[in-house]
Every structure is written in structure tokens, then in C-alpha cells.
Chains A and B, each alone.
Chain A
């Protein structure tokens, strides 16, 4: 991507922040908080998620058979089923149904799938008047705007904006102003539209193959009117909406409202087995009892493929089909909360999961327009009711986009610094950040000269022009003496030599978990034999070359608690290239590191990690990059630093040598991936044990997210997201501000007068 296109993207984001940001932020953050409250009230939340996930996995696995079964059932019920290959095929069929019904007007309830195929535009060309009856969708139809959110499509519109729109369009004698007046006005207008409709169109949230029942999750009652009034009902639904039985609906019904807008249930769940026995309401015969009218309902189910059956064959995009379109990934996303779906969305879908949908349905070009707004922070993974690994899907999509594009041409500045394993056309910005390890090594070797140079005006101008690194950000100040040098605890040289043989094993699927390796974390840090624990403190790039105080404090804290610590020279985890979508490079790094770490694990060492994004590599991402046995071992034997300290203390280590205070206050911003791994509580507990009074932030992400906030096209968005963390931290007026992740430290440092420290520095015996 060129600097010009960066500027265009920055300008679009700036405009959306100005015009829609406030309304989007208020609504999405409200939904997100309600989600937390709603799932808290559910005893068996995780069990329901697992059940929902299993139902979807099973249904997608045997989708062709379920399509056949549903077709037979619906036809036996008296309806018709049409399996449409693509949008044009579906639209042609719907137009035919409308022609057969001699339809002048079709009323619709809200359906993303109908927007995907753009049926409104198609029917309009055929002379059919299409009216959206969901109030939000109707507002957008009147305003000729696109939805900004998959559940609440007009989330970007304010009440005042809607009032102006109605006044302008309808010129009423008494223009409605309050939300109640606007709703009542819209209800009356739309009742007239529904009364005169010939066809009603709905989507379907779920379809049950055993009975041909469709479930519609709604609140307004417009979907009920849409199917009740006219005698012809057309439902358009992606093939992935099919579940085997009526009973399978239960976990989804309990999860979908809570996950989306934070409601236990929406007002109405329509469970329709059409054609229905319920009489139509024929407003052309206003004085004839509805029960005496002609009861000849017809029903057409249009099942849409449009790329889905190919996604089903794709090992990485398949999970997208489990999506139930609840919007949790949008509402829990820091970036989405700032800009909404008009920036973070494609042709139809928006939010984190849109990367998969748009790549599968529209193609990589469409996904490329927004997928970099997913920073991989992983907060959506916790929020997703079917546990979709959305960041991984977006990493794969990003990788495919770059692989399929042309290289940007040779540039000596970037190419010399980027010895990655990628083929294809990764742009310079991605390559530079993806090769951060090389930069850090060189930056350290030539410090402090490299620091003076890298932050000098002319160099920053070049970096911005060539690689899109925003000059408003300070670059890291590399340290000439690394943490490894300072610690001078290289460990057993034999272990380092074991690397070569271990490498072959680590990358082979056949290697078995060695006896004595425990998967049980509570036991792993226990000390039943009475001997000391031995730990490798992993010298991540940031701690090794840059944020060294936290590394030094970590060594002192662990040793004070009786742990033997080694800090060997170890390569990077591959996080920087992975976050740029450079999967091949990340895999190569993962293999190398696994090969060097496994001998330590074999020898009984625990792996202690300071940087949460690197721990997330071990625990989450290596599962995609390494053979399962290797990934499992690293995941099982690696610990976040404060998690490890917590374990030592819980198992009887003496806390006395640690620094302790009496009630000093701490404002703590954990790290997004650390929270997703469930490890925020450990830092908090350890600090409290040492006498601190801790307040944690609730913002989902600091907005920096690795390289994201350094990129010129995203700088302003990153700052906007970060300001939420800033206001939370400032409000605490704490004695200490601490953060676990490097990105968070960078971001907070740019927003607050002080540089935050790592929690371990507050318990450092030398403090």
C-alpha cells in the first residue's frame, strides 16, 4: 500500500471519527458492557458455548445431507426450496416469485443475507417496490445509507439525525422528535406499507432440518407482521443456517441476545414452520373477518450458497460458517467501537468476523479494504458465542491478500532489513514490522547511534514515506547491553547444544510428550519434592533490547522466591511477522524457537514469559504453526510472569523478600491477549498480596496493538482507542500506573505524562 493510499485511509477514518464516532462508541460500548452483565448471569455460559460450537461443527460437517433433508421437509410441509448458487441466481428466483404473485410491493424484515445478494436493487429494477420494515433499516433506506453494524444497522445515526430525516422526507404537520414519537410515526407509516404488501421477505437466523422450522430473532414485531399479513413468504438464508433439530436451537437462543446487545432474550423469537396455518390479513377486504379469507399461503425458502460451500472446504475460512451474526466481535473490538462498520466492514458484513465473510463471499480485494483494522488483540474470541478464532481467520486472509499481490519493488532501505521467508507481495510497511527482530538486533548493536538516527527528523520522514511509520510516534530506544548480557545466566551449555537434535523432534508430529510433563498448571509450580523450581526467563525482543527494567526485576523477583533462573540467548517467537500476516516467516521462527526451548522443558525447566503477546504465541497461535505435540508442550509449560509468581506464592514460597507497601494505589492496564488467556487476575492478586490497592481498566484494548498504532493510516484511530484507557487510568489518580504489554506501555507513554511500569517492578526486592 502506498503512502497516498495510507493518507486516503487515514482521511476516511478521520472523517468517520468526527461524524459517526460518538454515536458508534456510545452504542457499541453499551452493548459490550451489557454483554458482560448478561453472560455473568448465566450459570453454564461456557457449557452453552461449547454445545453451540459442537452443533455448528457437526452441522457444517454434514451440510450437504442437511440441505437435502431440509428440502424434503419443507416440500412435505407444502413449501418450496430453491438452492441458489450465487446472488444473481437467488435474485432471479425471487423476482420470479414476485412476478407469479403479481406483486407490486414486497415488505422485508431485517436480513443481512438479503443485503449480501442486493435483492432490493434487483427487485427495484423489476418494478417491485421494496420496503424495509425494521426501523433501523427503514431509516437507512430513507437516508440511502449502508448499515454500520450487523445487528443495529443505524447505530451511527443519532436521534436528532433521524428526526431531521423524517421531517425532510415527510414534512409532517407535527414533526416527531422524541424516540417515542419517532417510533410511533414510523410504525404508522410502515403499517400502511405492510397493509398493501403482496410479498413478505425475511431472513432466517436458524433453520431446522427435522421440521422445516425457521427461527427469527427480533424485537420490534415487524418480522411477525411481514409474514402474517401477505400470503406469500420468501425467506432468504445462507446454507450455513441449517441445524439438525429443533432441540439444537436451545443453546443459540440462550446465547445470541446476550452476546449481541446484552439482552437475555430479544422480545420475539419467531419459530415458523411455513406455510403457516395462521390466516392472512387482507387489508383490501377491511370488513371481512380474517378467518373467512382465502387461506392459500405460499412459502419459498431460498438457500444461498454464494461461496459458502467453498468456504466449507477451506480449512481456515470454514469456522466463519459457524457465525450466528450476533455482533459480539464488533462490540468487543476497540477499533470497531471508534469507527463502526463503515470503516471496519466490507460490502455487507462488518466487525472482526467480516474478514472471513467478505473474503469467502466477495473475495480478497474486498477484505483487503478493512482487514488490517483487526489488530489480533483477541478480545472477540472471548466474546464469540461459538468460540471462533477470528484473529486467526484475519491473519490468514491478510496473508492471502499479500501473497496474491505484486511486490512493491526493490527498496534498499526496507529490503536490507527484511530477511523474511515470504514469497509474494508483502508491502513494505508489513515487511518492516514483520522483521522487527532484525531491526531490534541491529538497533541494539549500533545503540545509541541508531536511536539518534531513527528518531531524527529526516530519517522519520523517510520512514513515513517508504514504510508508513507515523512520525508522531516515538520509536523504541534500543539498549546496547541486552537483558541477556546483563543477566549473564546462560544456563547449561549442554542444553543449548541439544538444540540441533531437538529441532528435528520439535518439528515432527511424532514426538511424544515426555513423561512427567504436567498439564495441570496448579501443580506445575508446586514444589512437592522440596527442591527449587528452575525457570527459563524468556528474553522477548522488547524486554531484551528495550524495556529492560521489567526483565531485571523479573530475575530478582524469581530468585527471591527461590527459583533458579536462566536467561539464555533465544530467538523471537514470530509474533511480529504473524501480526502482519507473514505466516511462513512466523512458522519458521516458531520452529526455531521451539527447537531451542524444548531441551529446557525436557530438562525440567518452566518457561516464564514477560510479554503477553509472546505468551499468546505459545498458548494459542503455535497451535496453528507447529505440530500439535510440540505446540501442546510449549503451551503447557509456559507461564506469564505474574501468573508464575502467583503460583509460587500459592504453593508456599515466602513473599517476605518481595517489595511490599501499605495501601499505595495502582492503576493497572492488563494486556488484551493476557485478558483473553484469563491472566489479568493473577497480576492483580500478586500486587494486592504485596499491599497495593489495585484498580484495573475495562477498555478492551489500548489501541496500539503491536505495530498498528505506528502505522500512519491508523495513528489517529489508535489514539482515539487509547484515550479510553487514558481516561480510565487518569480517573484513578493512582500512585503507580502499570501495564503488562509493550504496546500498552508505548501507547500509555504517549498519552500520559509518565511511562508506566510492569507490575513486576512494583514487587522488585530492589525497589
Chain B
């Protein structure tokens, strides 16, 4: 399945929904991104700074958390580098400001995705990652839905990682 650019969001949203991932779409120009995030977040919250100049985290989100704050947080807010429409997946970069632990320890992971950063399929995903890894030798997680296990006799969402995932998708 290869999806045309204008339909990428819809395809992504549909696939993400199959994993129980809800999306909230918000236009940056309305200035409502922080407000939207504040609504989605359950306190206490930790996170890593967002990489866009015109979007920032609500003050209630603790960045640069301590280990204690990490384990006590209910929500972790981090940016997604990009998303894969065909699979409903997001790419979460492991950055020096602690995005990886913030997206991993809390029960609820809220990712923030720029709607322009959705690629159609895995081929496009690995082309992009190949260029990126060769250039900067970085690390990332391809995350699809919440963490899960079937090792305890039935499928359970929420194993070592988050049990819920919510996406805030921004438009410009």
C-alpha cells in the first residue's frame, strides 16, 4: 500500500487507531498547541523539549527529570521525528535531552508529530533512517502502539513501557 501525500494523515490515523492510539490534530497558528497538550496530559508529567521554535511544552511538564520524577510520572511528552502511515508507527529519536526515558517510563506516552512528517511506508522510512544514521550515527525507536506482552497468559497492554499512547499532530 502506498498512500498519496494528502491522505497520509488519514492513513496514519486509521492504522494508529487499530493499536488504540488516539490522535488530536491542532493548527499551530491558533496558538492552541500548549492548551491541547495540557488537556491530553495526566499529571504528573515529564518530557523532553520540543524541537520546533513555534511550539513548546506546557509549564506543567517537567523537562530534564530526575530518576524519581521519571518513575513517578503518569505522562511522558516527547516529539516524534516522523511517522509511517502504512503501519501507524512513529519514530522516536533517542536524544541527549532524555526523550527516550521520558517516552518509556510513564504509563501514558504523548507524542507530538508535525503532520508534514508522515512518510507513506517502510521503504521510505528506511531510506530516511539510512541517510540519517550514516550522517549522525543516532538511535531511534520505531514505536507502534503501547508496550504489550502475551507472556502472562493473555495479551496485556502496558508491559515494561507505556500502556497508553496519544498523539498530538500539529499543522502549519
Chain A contacts for B59, CB-based, 8 A = none
Across the interface, do A224 and B130 meet the contact criterion of CB distance under 8 Å?
no
Instruction: Give the contacts of A232-277 with B (CB-CB under 8 A).
Output: 245-247, 249-250, 253-254, 261, 264-274, 276-277
Chain A contacts for B120, CB-based, 8 A = none
Distance to closest chain A CB from B97 (angstroms): 6
CA distance A264 to B88 in the complex (A): 10
| Most A-side CB within 10 Å, residue of B95, B100, B134, B162 | B100
Across the interface, do B104 and A225 meet the contact criterion of CB distance under 8 Å?
yes
Across the interface, do B134 and A210 meet the contact criterion of CB distance under 8 Å?
yes
Distance to closest chain B CB from A149 (angstroms): 11
In this assembly, does A148 line the interface, its C-beta being within 8 Å of a C-beta of chain B?
A: no
Across the interface, do A267 and B147 meet the contact criterion of CB distance under 8 Å?
yes
Across the interface, do B133 and A268 meet the contact criterion of CB distance under 8 Å?
no
| Most B-side CB within 10 Å, residue of A139, A191, A195, A225 | A225
CA distance A261 to B160 in the complex (A): 19
In this assembly, does A298 line the interface, its C-beta being within 8 Å of a C-beta of chain B?
A: no
Chain B contacts for A184, CB-based, 8 A = 158
Cβ contacts B86-102/A at 8 Å (1 or 0 each): 01010000111111110
Cβ contacts A272-289/B at 8 Å (1 or 0 each): 111011110111011111
Across the interface, do B161 and A224 meet the contact criterion of CB distance under 8 Å?
yes
Across the interface, do A134 and B151 meet the contact criterion of CB distance under 8 Å?
yes
Across the interface, do B98 and A279 meet the contact criterion of CB distance under 8 Å?
yes
Instruction: Give the contacts of B137-152 with A (CB-CB under 8 A).
Output: 137-152
Across the interface, do B144 and A135 meet the contact criterion of CB distance under 8 Å?
no
Residue of B nearest to A27 (CB): B150
Chain B contacts for A274, CB-based, 8 A = 139
CA distance A205 to B66 in the complex (A): 32
In this assembly, does B154 line the interface, its C-beta being within 8 Å of a C-beta of chain A?
A: yes
Chain A contacts for B148, CB-based, 8 A = 219-220, 267
Across the interface, do B139 and A179 meet the contact criterion of CB distance under 8 Å?
no
Given known contacts A221-B104, A246-B129, A249-B126, A290 and B153 CB-to-CB distance under 8 angstroms = no
In this assembly, does B53 line the interface, its C-beta being within 8 Å of a C-beta of chain A?
A: no
In this assembly, does A136 line the interface, its C-beta being within 8 Å of a C-beta of chain B?
A: yes
Interface residue stretch chosen among A58-66, A152-160, A328-336: A152-160
Cβ-neighbour of A183 out of B99, B139, B149 (below 8 A): B149
Chain A contacts for B149, CB-based, 8 A = 135-136, 183, 219-220
CA distance A698 to B54 in the complex (A): 57
In this assembly, does A182 line the interface, its C-beta being within 8 Å of a C-beta of chain B?
A: yes
Chain A contacts for B68, CB-based, 8 A = 286-287
Given known contacts A221-B104, A228-B100, A292-B64, A212 and B137 CB-to-CB distance under 8 angstroms = yes
Across the interface, do A187 and B137 meet the contact criterion of CB distance under 8 Å?
no
CA distance A276 to B155 in the complex (A): 31
Interface size on A, residues (CB 8 A): 71
Across the interface, do B67 and A286 meet the contact criterion of CB distance under 8 Å?
yes
Instruction: Give the contacts of B32-52 with A (CB-CB under 8 A).
Output: none
Across the interface, do A265 and B66 meet the contact criterion of CB distance under 8 Å?
no
Cβ-neighbour of B160 out of A154, A220, A249 (below 8 A): A220
Distance to closest chain B CB from A154 (angstroms): 6
In this assembly, does A100 line the interface, its C-beta being within 8 Å of a C-beta of chain B?
A: no
Chain B contacts for A228, CB-based, 8 A = 94, 100-101, 104
Across the interface, do A289 and B101 meet the contact criterion of CB distance under 8 Å?
no
Residue of B nearest to A194 (CB): B160
Instruction: Give the contacts of A31-58 with B (CB-CB under 8 A).
Output: 43
Chain B contacts for A266, CB-based, 8 A = 144
Distance to closest chain A CB from B123 (angstroms): 6
Across the interface, do A221 and B147 meet the contact criterion of CB distance under 8 Å?
yes
Across the interface, do B152 and A269 meet the contact criterion of CB distance under 8 Å?
no
In this assembly, does B71 line the interface, its C-beta being within 8 Å of a C-beta of chain A?
A: yes
Across the interface, do B100 and A288 meet the contact criterion of CB distance under 8 Å?
no
In this assembly, does A291 line the interface, its C-beta being within 8 Å of a C-beta of chain B?
A: yes
Across the interface, do A271 and B160 meet the contact criterion of CB distance under 8 Å?
no
Cβ-neighbour of B154 out of A159, A221, A267, A288 (below 8 A): A159
Across the interface, do A278 and B130 meet the contact criterion of CB distance under 8 Å?
no
Cβ-neighbour of A250 out of B126, B133, B144, B152 (below 8 A): B126
Distance to closest chain A CB from B81 (angstroms): 11
Across the interface, do A268 and B153 meet the contact criterion of CB distance under 8 Å?
no
Inter-chain residue pair count (beta carbon < 8 A): 193
Across the interface, do A268 and B139 meet the contact criterion of CB distance under 8 Å?
no
Interface size on B, residues (CB 8 A): 54
Cβ contacts A154-171/B at 8 Å (1 or 0 each): 100111101000000000
Given known contacts A179-B156, A220-B161, A224-B104, A276 and B150 CB-to-CB distance under 8 angstroms = no
Across the interface, do B151 and A268 meet the contact criterion of CB distance under 8 Å?
no
Residue of B nearest to A77 (CB): B137
Across the interface, do A179 and B141 meet the contact criterion of CB distance under 8 Å?
no
In this assembly, does A213 line the interface, its C-beta being within 8 Å of a C-beta of chain B?
A: yes
Residue of A nearest to B158 (CB): A183
Distance to closest chain B CB from A749 (angstroms): 38
Distance to closest chain A CB from B101 (angstroms): 5
Chain A contacts for B1, CB-based, 8 A = 43
In this assembly, does A548 line the interface, its C-beta being within 8 Å of a C-beta of chain B?
A: no
CA distance A271 to B127 in the complex (A): 14
Residue of B nearest to A217 (CB): B142
Across the interface, do A183 and B94 meet the contact criterion of CB distance under 8 Å?
no
In this assembly, does B70 line the interface, its C-beta being within 8 Å of a C-beta of chain A?
A: yes
CA distance A191 to B150 in the complex (A): 19
Across the interface, do B70 and A290 meet the contact criterion of CB distance under 8 Å?
yes
Residue of B nearest to A286 (CB): B68
Given known contacts A159-B153, A220-B148, A277-B94, A268 and B142 CB-to-CB distance under 8 angstroms = yes
Residue of A nearest to B137 (CB): A273
CA distance A224 to B87 in the complex (A): 21
Distance to closest chain B CB from A208 (angstroms): 8
Distance to closest chain B CB from A763 (angstroms): 41
CA distance A753 to B155 in the complex (A): 40
Across the interface, do A221 and B160 meet the contact criterion of CB distance under 8 Å?
yes
Residue of A nearest to B126 (CB): A250
In this assembly, does A630 line the interface, its C-beta being within 8 Å of a C-beta of chain B?
A: no
| Most B-side CB within 10 Å, residue of A152, A162, A224, A286 | A224
In this assembly, does B125 line the interface, its C-beta being within 8 Å of a C-beta of chain A?
A: yes
CA distance A468 to B119 in the complex (A): 60
In this assembly, does A173 line the interface, its C-beta being within 8 Å of a C-beta of chain B?
A: no
Across the interface, do B151 and A278 meet the contact criterion of CB distance under 8 Å?
no
In this assembly, does B17 line the interface, its C-beta being within 8 Å of a C-beta of chain A?
A: no
Footprint of B on A, CB under 8 Å? 43, 77, 133-136, 139, 152, 154, 157-160, 162, 179-180, 182-184, 186-187, 190-191, 195, 208, 210-213, 219-222, 224-225, 228, 245-247, 249-250, 253-254, 261, 264-274, 276-279, 281-283, 285-292, 295
24 of the cross-chain contacts (CB-CB < 8 Å) are A135-B151, A136-B149, A159-B154, A160-B153, A179-B155, A183-B159, A190-B160, A221-B159, A221-B160, A224-B160, A225-B161, A246-B130, A250-B125, A250-B126, A253-B122, A265-B87, A267-B145, A267-B161, A271-B142, A273-B139, A286-B67, A288-B67, A290-B65, A290-B70
Those 10 A-B pairs whose CB atoms lie nearest each other, nearest first: A159-B153, A221-B161, A220-B159, A246-B130, A136-B151, A221-B160, A179-B154, A221-B147, A269-B142, A278-B94
List 10 additional contacts besides A134-B151, A220-B151, A267-B146; criterion CB under 8 Å. A158-B153, A191-B71, A191-B160, A220-B149, A221-B162, A267-B143, A269-B142, A271-B141, A276-B139, A286-B67
